[in-house]
Structures are given as structure tokens and as C-alpha cells.
């Protein structure tokens, strides 16, 4: 296997490879760009005009998707996968990955779309570097652009594998991409209704890519992901790499559930209280009239939307950040 196929091993060791460019026997080029960043370029005769950005480790303890990307890259380096697309593999918060922690000082996935300019420290610099790497990769004109940012969640979920689709004013979502997700085992998609500061929101709104954040189960340490079944997603990513479509990836959305954001719960002060069990699962349904949270100045969040569910509840976030999202079934979704 080509040494550059061991990007994860290099990243966890903090090593820079001696050889920055290597070729497979079939002529696929692997090029090391920066720590945790590797570009794959197929021979010109096989290039189908698609650019794929696969990122993981934006939170350093989300190991299942990191291991998934490692398997894909090793398959390319062993000449077992024959790419027909350009691919950029990115491991996001490399320092946190080495420590097995979500982040060191700041959540990188709250530092994109220019937010890093308002902060200092290594993670703000890394967010800026990731933006530049993505922008350079997606700079070639007249090519199809797709970004999957792969994550796992802090807590368990009633719907284990789901996606978050960013928002851009006036831009419909892609029915083709939703059908692909359905074929890849994704059970639900949350459609955002305002701009965000996540990595996928940056590539979607600023770089014109189809971009989605994929949540793929619960975060566990390296080597402990046997219970996270990513087989269907892995087959889908292999198909994308080789210029194929996964069987079932038609315009039919199948059983895919679509949700819309009803409200965000923002923590304003240390007095914030979230009235949920510590082990509450993502997508738990909340009854109308339920007092969800309280904060200073008699601020209260009471459920008044039928069919409301909560995702990402976290009362331990810093003041000013989101402590949960209230979602409802989506209606009248505009697709192209």
C-alpha cells in the first residue's frame, strides 16, 4: 500500500510524510496538502468531472467516520478502489483527535463562515485553514461539487443516522442528493432555515457545493465502533468514488423523513436550566405545553408546536450558544 494511504496514522502520530506525492499502478495521484489533508486525482481519461470533499474529525472524538474515511483512502492506496472523481480527504481537528477529545478550547464547527476571525487560538486557525483547503479544492470551474461532513453525536438517538442540510436563501434542495442519502441508510434529514457557521454551511453557501452534515450514531473511542453500522453509507461513498450510483439511488425518497427547524434554544447565562433527563435521546418527542427550559429575565421555552422533537440538547454549552434545536415534520419542501 502507498504510504500516503496511511493518512490517519500520520495524523495521529503528528508526522509529515517524506514523499508528498505518490501514484497508484493505475495512475491515480495521492498528494499530501497539509496535516490531515490529502487530495486524490484520477487519471484524466477516468475523470468524470465530480469533486468530492469527505471530512471527519471536526470533533476529535467522533471516531467511526474517521475510521470510515481511513478505510476508503486505504482502498484507493491499495488500488482496490479506482477513483473517477477528484477527492479531498480532510481530518478536521487533528489536535483533538490525538487527545480523543471533542475539542481542545473551541468547537471548530462553530467557527466557519468567517466566525474564526472573531476568535483566537489554534482551533480558530485550523478552521481558517480548512476553509482555504476546501476553497482551493472547489476552485475548478464547471465541475460538480459535493461535500459530506461526517460526524457522530454526543448522545444516543431514536433516529441513529440522519443528515443536516444547510440553508441558502432562494436555493432549493436537491432531490437527487436526498434520494442518495435514503439509499445510503440515512433515515432522516433536518432542513435548516437560516445560515449557519458549520463546515457544511460554509461549503454550501460560499463554495456552491451540495453539502450535508451526516450524523452517524454515538461517539465512541477508536476501535470501539462495532455497534455503528455504516455498511450502506460505505458502499455509497465507494460508488461515488468510482463514478457509480448505489442501487436504489433514484428520485424516490422512500421512507426518508424530512424535518424543519421550529426554534433554537439559546443559552444566555449560567442560570440556564434544561428540563430534560441527562440521557434524553435525539429526536425525542415533546408534548405541547411542556416547559423545556428557563433562563434569566423569566425567559422560558414552552413547547407549542405539535409533533415537536428535540435534537442536540446540551445545557453545558457556553453562554450565547445553542443548547438544543426544536424540529417539526417539514411541509411544502422545495426540491429540484
- Mean pLDDT, to the nearest integer, of 21-25? 97
Task: State the Cα–Cα distance between residues 27 and 124, nearest whole angstrom.
Answer: 36
Number of Cα atoms under 13 Å in the Cβ half of residue 204: 27
CA distances from 86 to 51, 237, 252 (A): 5, 13, 27
Which tens digits make up the pLDDT trace of 162-207?
Answer: 999 999 999 999 999 999 999 999 999 999 999 999 999 999 999 9
pLDDT of residue 227: 65
Confidence of residue 332 (pLDDT cuts 50, 70, 90): confident
* 302 pLDDT higher than 70: yes
Domain parsing of the chain, residue ranges: 3-241, 263-329
Could you confirm whether domain 3-241 is CATH 2.40.30.10?
no
* Structure confidence by residue, pLDDT tens digits, 104-117: 999 999 999 988 98
Active-site residue set: 215
Tell me the C-alpha distance between 273 and 298, whole Å.
Answer: 12
**Residue pair 199/130 in contact by the 8 Å Cβ criterion:** yes
Q: Is the pTM of this model over 0.75?
A: yes
Q: Tell me what the mean pLDDT of segment 315-327 comes to.
A: 92
Q: Which grid coordinates are listed for 49? A: 468531472
Task: Please determine, for residue 135, whether its predicted confidence score (pLDDT) is greater than 80.
Answer: yes
**pLDDT at 156 > cutoff 90:** no
- Confirm whether residue 62 is marked as ligand binding: yes
- In this prediction, residue 23 has a pLDDT band, given cuts at 50, 70 and 90, of very high
Per DSSP, the three-state class of 1 is coil
Q: How far apart are CA 129 and CA 93, in angstroms?
A: 11
pLDDT band for 249, please (50, 70, 90 cuts).
low
Predicted local confidence at residue 225, as pLDDT: 65
pLDDT in tens, 255-275: 899 999 999 999 999 999 999
- pLDDT bucket at 6, cuts 50 / 70 / 90: very high
Residue 308 has pLDDT above 70, yes or no: yes
- Residue 234 annotated in ligand binding: no
Kindly state the cell numbers that stand for 160: 441513529
> Please, which pLDDT band fits residue 250 given cuts at 50, 70 and 90?
low
Report whether 204 contacts 113 (CB < 8 A).
no
The H or E element containing residue 64 is helix 63-77
CA-based nearest residue to 53, from 67, 71, 35, 39:
39
Quick one: which of 269, 266, 272 has its CA closest to 326? Answer: 266
Residue 251 confidence (pLDDT) above 80: no
Q: Name the residue with higher pLDDT: 45 or 218.
A: 45
The angle that helices 175-183 and 231-241 make with each other, rounded to 10 degrees, is 130
Cell digits of residue 156: 444516543
* 78-111: pLDDT as tens digits: 999 999 999 999 999 999 999 999 999 999 999 9
Q: What percent of the chain has pLDDT over 90?
A: 85
Contact 330, 260 (CB under 8 A): yes
Class of domain 263-329 as given by CATH: mainly beta
Amino acid at each position: 500500500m502507498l504510504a500516503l494511504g496511511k493518512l490517519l496514522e500520520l495524523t495521529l502520530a503528528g508526522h509529515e510524510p517524506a514523499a508528498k506525492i505518490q501514484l497508484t499502478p493505475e495512475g491515480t495521484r495521492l498528494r499530501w496538502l497539509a496535516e490531515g489533508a490529502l487530495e486524490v486525482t484520477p487519471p484524466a481519461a477516468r475523470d468524470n468531472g465530480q469533486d468530492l470533499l469527505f471530512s471527519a474529525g471536526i470533533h476529535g472524538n467522533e471516531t467511526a467516520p474517521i475510521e470510515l474515511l481511513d478505510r476508503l483512502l486505504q482502498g484507493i492506496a491499495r488500488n482496490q478502489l479506482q477513483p473517477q472523481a477528484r477527492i479531498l480527504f480532510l481530518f478536521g481537528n487533528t489536535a483533538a483527535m490525538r487527545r480523543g477529545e471533542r475539542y481542545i478550547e473551541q468547537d471548530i464547527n462553530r467557527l466557519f463562515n468567517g466566525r474564526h476571525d472573531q476568535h483566537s487560538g489554534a482551533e480558530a486557525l485550523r478552521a481558517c485553514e480548512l476553509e482555504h483547503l476546501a476553497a482551493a479544492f472547489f476552485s475548478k470551474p464547471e465541475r460538480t461539487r459535493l461535500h459530506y461532513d461526517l460526524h457522530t453525536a454526543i448522545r444516543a438517538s431514536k433516529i441513529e443516522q440522519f443528515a443536516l442540510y444547510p440553508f441558502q436563501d432562494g436555493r432549493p434542495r436537491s432531490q437527487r442528493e436526498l434520494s442518495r442519502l435514503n439509499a445510503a441508510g440515512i433515515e432522516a434529514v433536518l432542513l435548516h432555515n437560516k445560515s449557519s457557521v458549520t463546515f457544511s454551511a460554509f461549503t454550501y453557501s460560499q463554495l456552491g457545493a451540495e453539502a450535508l452534515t451526516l450524523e452517524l450514531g454515538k461517539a465512541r473511542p477508536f476501535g470501539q465502533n462495532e455497534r455503528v453500522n455504516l455498511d450502506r453509507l460505505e458502499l455509497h461513498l465507494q460508488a461515488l468514488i468510482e463514478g457509480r450510483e448505489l442501487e436504489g439511488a433514484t428520485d424516490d425518497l422512500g421512507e426518508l423523513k424530512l424535518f424543519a427547524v421550529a426554534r433554537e434554544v439559546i443559552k444566555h447565562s449560567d442560570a440556564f436550566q434544561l428540563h430534560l433527563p441527562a440521557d434524553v435521546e435525539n429526536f425525542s418527542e415533546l408534548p405541547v405545553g411542556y416547559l423545556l427550559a428557563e433562563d434569566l429575565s423569566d425567559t422560558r421555552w414552552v413547547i407549542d408546536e405539535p409533533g415537536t422533537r428535540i435534537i442536540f440538547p446540551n445545557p453545558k454549552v457556553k453562554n450565547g450558544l445553542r443548547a438544543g434545536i426544536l424540529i417539526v415534520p417539514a411541509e411544502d419542501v422545495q426540491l429540484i
